[in-house]
């Protein structure tokens, strides 16, 4: 047995050497060319077949590669494949952003004084890069761009000048405190989300129409729209909007076409203002920390792809942020138990039972967390605790629009916070099921891929 084992081992070594010799018969530029025609998953797995792809050759500098001679062949192959896949994903998104526009963004990034952006100040992330890595195109997905607030004007100008897009409003326009579209206010560093669409899809086809759109973007028309929407939405949650750094507009001298009746497939997620003593330490990548699925943190900035868990990504797997995972599992458990009791009337749009139910579930969740309850959880429950401290102005006998009625702003604040937290949990659940439905295994998920829960979003002021 020992002899057979030894002989087999020798044969395997010889086979590997022969295989590596066969691989080396192709120049690096041929391997890069091959990679540009295959899915990133296949390129990644191909590179795992031999150490040849992971050893730097002495003549690498002379191979004519345009993808970065200082990189290992495996890295250059994967980059070629990722760029090719990203071009197809952007084309399928109908956002009007193409690969050339994204690469043009990359030329503006760097630590030199002549660059518009420092490293890691703006990235494309989320489903766009997940699709890119998997070599797939998903229907109805947006392009998500994340940037530090101080560089938002330059990003807006890039969208207008390079991607031929226009501002079409906020993603959360004119909504109430308890609307589920405000979910990004729970546990996030994002200040607001702006929506952009292509000039072509919004029927801006000639110079005169473009001039009109720019006039709307530069005048009182835009600022009135912005102020009205901010007053009715994010200012209620303590977001500062009057700071000059949050002014919605392009870089100095830039154009800013706008149409609030427009539509688009691009979300620009602008971060909260970074305190002066932290500037240079906080990056756009920190805006991705609030993602519940780590697969969505994959990003590209026009120069560098960043994939935090590549072996999981290229095996269609992802881990889940542990704090959100714990909350989701506990919340779903208690929700199912309490719903079965029949104690709560969820059919009446003017009943506060939804808020009461959510509040009781949250208390049970906190009990489940026990000694694991940390400052991280405290931040997630901040709005809930704020609502608990407010005086209770609700009067079930109040007539329509009288003080104490369900539409009373103080009542919305008091009872809306737990509803908003419930809706945030619903969003976690829906995203988990969506990715599981795409045959992506979520490691340690509190809900199995073939299980489902009948949990719906709440709103205490409308049906």
Digit-coded pLDDT (tens) for 3-24: 333 333 333 444 555 555 566 6
Domain annotation covers residue 131? yes
Same-domain check for residues 272 and 340: no
User: pLDDT (tens digit, 9 = 90+) per residue, 264-300?
Assistant: 899 999 988 887 777 778 899 999 988 899 999 999 9
Among the listed residues 220, 212, 218, the one whose alpha carbon sits nearest the alpha carbon of residue 249 = 218
Q: How many domains does the chain have?
A: 3
- Give tens-digit pLDDT for 304-362: 999 989 999 999 999 999 999 999 999 999 999 998 888 887 887 777 888 899 999 99
Band of residue 409 on the pLDDT scale cut at 50, 70, 90: confident
Residue at 292 is within a domain: yes
Segment (H or E) for 85 = helix 73-93
Pair (219, 301) in one structural domain: yes
| Mean pLDDT of all residues in 425-429 | 91
Question: What is the rounded CA–CA span in Å between residue 322 and residue 340?
Answer: 28
* 137 shares its domain with 264: yes
Both 140 and 34 in one domain: the answer is no
Question: DSSP assignment, residue 243?
Answer: S
DSSP code per residue over 314-372: TTTEE-B-HHHHHHHHHHHHHHHHHHHHT-S--S-TT-SHHHHHHHHHHHHHHHHHGGG
Same-domain pairing of 334 and 261: no
Query: 0.95 exceeded by the pTM?
Result: no
Residue 463 included in any domain: no
Considering the domain architecture, whether residues 299 and 376 belong to the same structural domain is answered as no
For residue 304, being part of any structural domain is answered with: yes
Give domain status of residue 241, yes or no.
Answer: yes
Is residue 454 included in any domain, yes or no?
no
The distance between the two most distant Cα atoms of the chain, rounded to a whole number of Å, is 92
- Look at residues 96, 6, 81 and name the one whose alpha carbon lies nearest to residue 39: 81
Nearest to 317 by CA among 307, 330, 327: 307
Say yes or no: 154 and 45 in one domain.
no
Q: Which of 77, 109, 144 is the last residue of a domain?
A: 77
- Both 418 and 436 in one domain: the answer is yes
Does residue 33 or residue 66 have the better pLDDT? Answer: 33
159-211 residue pLDDT tens: 999 999 999 987 653 344 444 444 445 667 888 888 999 999 999 989 999 99
Helix (H) or strand (E) holding 80: helix 73-93
Task: Verify that 290 and 149 share a domain, yes or no.
Answer: yes
CA dist list (Å): 199 to 204, 207, 364: 5, 11, 50
Per residue in 351-372, pLDDT (tens digit) is: 788 889 999 999 999 999 887 7
Q: Which single residue is written with the structure tokens 């003017």?
A: 350
Q: Are residues 119 and 238 in the same domain?
A: yes
Indicate whether 253 pLDDT > 50. yes
Shared-domain flag, residues 22 and 98? no
Question: With bands split at pLDDT 50, 70 and 90, how would you rate the model's confidence at 138?
Answer: very high
User: Does any domain span residue 448?
Assistant: no
Q: Within this chain, do residues 128 and 39 fall inside the same structural domain, yes or no?
A: no
Given 297, 318, 339, the domain boundary residue is 318
Alpha helices in 36-72 (DSSP H): 40-47
Q: Please report, rounded to a whole number, the percentage of residues in the chain having pLDDT higher than 90.
A: 42
Which of 260, 285, 318 is where one domain is finished? 318
Instruction: Answer whether residue 375 is part of any domain.
Output: yes
The answer to whether 364 touches 390, Cβ cutoff 8 Å, is no
For residue 227, what are the contacts with CB-CB under 8 A and spacing of at least 6? 241
Whole-angstrom distance, CA of residue 79 vs CA of residue 305: 8
What is the span of the domain harbouring residue 279?
94-318
């Amino acid at each position: 047995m020992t002899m057979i084992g030894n002989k087999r081992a020798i044969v395997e070594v010889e086979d590997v050497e022969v295989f590596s010799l066969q691989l080396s018969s192709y120049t690096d530029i041929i391997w890069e060319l091959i990679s540009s025609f295959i899915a990133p998953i296949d390129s990644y797995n191909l590179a795992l077949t031999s150490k040849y792809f992971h050893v730097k050759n002495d003549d690498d500098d002379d191979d004519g590669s345009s993808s970065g001679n200082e990189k290992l062949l495996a890295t250059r192959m994967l980059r070629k494949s990722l760029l090719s896949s990203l071009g197809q994903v952007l084309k399928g998104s109908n956002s009007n952003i193409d690969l050339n526009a994204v690469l043009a963004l990359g030329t503006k990034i760097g630590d030199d004084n002549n660059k518009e952006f420092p490293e890691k100040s703006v990235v494309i992330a989320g489903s766009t890069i997940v699709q890119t890595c998997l070599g797939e195109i998903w229907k109805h997905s947006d392009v998500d761009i994340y940037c530090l607030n101080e560089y938002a004007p330059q990003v807006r100008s890039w969208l207008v000048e390079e991607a031929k897009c226009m501002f079409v409003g906020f993603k959360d326009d004119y909504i109430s405190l308890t609307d589920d579209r405000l979910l990004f206010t729970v546990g996030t560093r994002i200040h607001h989300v702006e929506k952009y669409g292509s000039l072509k899809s919004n029927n801006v086809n000639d110079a005169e129409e473009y001039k009109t759109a720019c006039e709307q973007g530069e005048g009182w028309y835009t600022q009135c729209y912005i102020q009205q929407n901010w007053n009715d939405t994010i200012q209620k949650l303590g977001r500062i909007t009057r700071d000059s750094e949050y002014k919605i507009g392009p870089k100095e001298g830039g154009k800013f076409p706008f149409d609030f009746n427009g539509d688009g497939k691009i979300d620009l997620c602008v971060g909260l203002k970074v305190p002066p003593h932290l500037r240079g330490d906080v990056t756009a990548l920190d805006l991705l920390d609030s993602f519940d699925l780590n697969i969505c943190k994959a990003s590209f900035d026009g120069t560098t792809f960043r994939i935090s868990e590549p072996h999981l990504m290229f095996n269609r797997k992802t881990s889940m942020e542990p704090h959100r995972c714990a909350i989701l599992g506990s919340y779903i458990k208690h929700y199912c138990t309490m719903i079965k009791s029949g104690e709560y009337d969820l059919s009446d749009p003017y009943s506060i039972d939804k808020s009461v139910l959510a509040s009781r579930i949250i208390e049970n969740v906190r009990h489940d967390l026990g000694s694991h309850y940390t400052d991280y959880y405290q931040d997630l429950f901040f709005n809930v605790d704020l609502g608990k401290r407010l005086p209770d102005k609700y009067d079930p006998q109040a007539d329509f629009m009288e003080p104490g009625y369900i539409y009373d702003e103080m009542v919305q604040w008091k009872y809306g916070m737990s509803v908003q937290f419930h809706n945030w949990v619903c969003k976690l659940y829906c995203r988990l099921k969506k990715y599981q439905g795409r045959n992506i295994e979520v490691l340690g998920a509190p809900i199995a891929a073939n299980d489902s829960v009948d949990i719906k979003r709440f709103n205490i002021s409308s049906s």
